Structure 1
């Protein structure tokens, strides 16, 4: 294919200049090489495109028709090439982004809004699912997931920030059922289970400094796989559950939820950006990745700082 395209370019320029010599100078080759390229083209087409004499060149009838079609084909190839090259320079077009729930609603939506303000020529298609899709087969440019660690993969992964989950309940629930003061007292409470990539839903990896314990939930009235559903149930006083810092922070500050056993947290995890390849990263993907790295990192850190400041203030009051 590359040979015929090259021969087409040479033939088109020979027709336009009426000179093998002129085309040879343009391409820094000999006139004999230009002539051989045209001959090779004729052999591939099985027709004569140029009549040649020692003094004159003329286009045959089939050669004239081929010249017009070849010009259009070469223009399309050049246009496609320019478009592909510009994609690595100017952010434009559609980005398909996968994101885990909770993370999407809490911090990613705001980051995407500010990204679109900066790059209005980029359209972002966001898909929210708990498990990460096959990025290549399903046509995704980027995935945002939370995990304690990632399995070996051909994908490229960049950490964007850290977070952890906290145990929370509504003031109404705690008023009706009492506030647990130790981990052992959790067994007397209604514990709600949340499915996530970080840990099994029936295991809470509770830690405080060097003190760590896996709390097994033997019985629960509710198991959900979306943090927003868990949050809604907790706000309604359904029990004690776990929410990531970035999901729980506003409700904790507003007093709609209360942190249970505030000197404990669940095992920290990392928010990763995962994408298929680092080679020739498209400008829209590259700029979105850079934007997420800066905005998400600060949002995740801000949520942790607000929750820890709240815990310090509560500790001083008690």
Structure 2
């Protein structure tokens, strides 16, 4: 029995909950994974997993072995990495998940520089705003804006994303220009943004000189993804709070008009999140460092966009 391979197979089965999915992620036949676990249990003379036709659960012995196996495998990976990192260039497939707006506007234009620096890395990028199942989807990392709800994940803050409130000139001509955030609750529509996988519509938050206001506006459409959210606003479906890097070009062209500019909107933090108990490979480290570098250098992520003269804004 190859005990290290058997330990890795056991750890992956525990993480994803099925032999079939573990075999896919390990790129091994399912019977091979099953045999490895059986050999490991025979070697340890202990049952590590309870198997039914529907699911796999961990026994008490299995849970204890899982925690120790994670540490041992992590130390082995770290030892291997320390011996090879000075000689080997980062290489291999890098599996990441990021929102479509950040990918298309910020990451993708700069990505050729990263790939030129590390030509042996191959990037597999998924685009979504939904909470990613990092372990189940075998992802190395994900980039997310806002608070991280899953406290089991490891998060590194790498910047922030400024927001601006705006609408189309046609919308403002039909509904008027709001002068106070409370105006958005009377006679106005808001483009709703809801967290992916939930029905919760996130409120607009404004901070003035002496008060903070949270607005739950009326809406005719809500979306759970940033590029669709922007498209709804550009179609005149309501007032929206959108990232400055997404709005800047449309404000400059006159397609969007900033409103309530005397009221601040809180920036959203940007995080890179990793699976728990997962050793960071060299390819992940260099990508994370590069991503933090380009986010810090991107001015549109850090400031409000240039505002047009209010003389040109229709009341």
Q: TM-score, normalised by structure 2?
A: 0.65
Match of 1:207 in 2: 207
Match of 1:50 in 2: none
Match of 2:94 in 1: 95
How far does residue 99 in structure 1 lie from its aligned partner after superposition? 1.0
| Poorly superposed stretches of 4+, deviation over 6 Å | 81-84, 315-318
The 2-side partners of 1:216 and 1:306 are apart by 23
How far does residue 131 in structure 1 lie from its aligned partner after superposition? 2.2
The 2-side partners of 1:123 and 1:315 are apart by 47
Root mean square deviation, CA, Å: 3.1
Contact 1:166 1:264 in 2 (8 A): no
How far does residue 302 in structure 1 lie from its aligned partner after superposition? 3.2
Tell me whether 1:108 sits opposite 2:113 in the alignment. Answer: no
Match of 1:51 in 2: none
The 1-side partners of 2:219 and 2:115 are apart by 42
Call closer, same or farther: CA 1:97–1:298 in 2, change over 3 Å. same
Match of 1:176 in 2: 174
Match of 2:164 in 1: 166
Q: TM-score, normalised by structure 1?
A: 0.64
Q: Any gaps of 5 or more consecutive residues in structure 1?
A: 4-80
The 2-side partners of 1:214 and 1:163 are apart by 19
Q: How does 1:39-54 map to 2 (within 5 A)?
A: none
Contact 2:99 2:127 in 1 (8 A): yes
Contact 1:231 1:243 in 2 (8 A): yes
The 2-side partners of 1:303 and 1:255 are apart by 20
Match of 2:285 in 1: 286
**Residues 179-212 of structure 1, C-alpha deviation per residue, up to 9 Å, x if partnerless?**
1112232221121101247x94252122235521
Contact 2:162 2:244 in 1 (8 A): yes
How far does residue 143 in structure 1 lie from its aligned partner after superposition? 0.7
**Residues 163-192 of structure 1, C-alpha deviation per residue, up to 9 Å, x if partnerless?**
232211112221233211122322211211
Match of 2:258 in 1: 259
Tell me whether 1:223 sits opposite 2:228 in the alignment. Answer: no
Call closer, same or farther: CA 1:90–1:173 in 2, change over 3 Å. same
Q: Any gaps of 5 or more consecutive residues in structure 2?
A: 4-78
Call closer, same or farther: CA 1:228–1:257 in 2, change over 3 Å. same
Contact 1:252 1:259 in 2 (8 A): yes
Match of 1:33 in 2: none
Matched pairs, number: 234
Call closer, same or farther: CA 1:99–1:87 in 2, change over 3 Å. farther
Match of 1:305 in 2: 303
Q: How does 1:70-149 map to 2 (within 5 A)?
A: 86=84, 89-149=88-148
Contact 2:164 2:304 in 1 (8 A): no
Q: Which has the larger helix fraction? A: 1
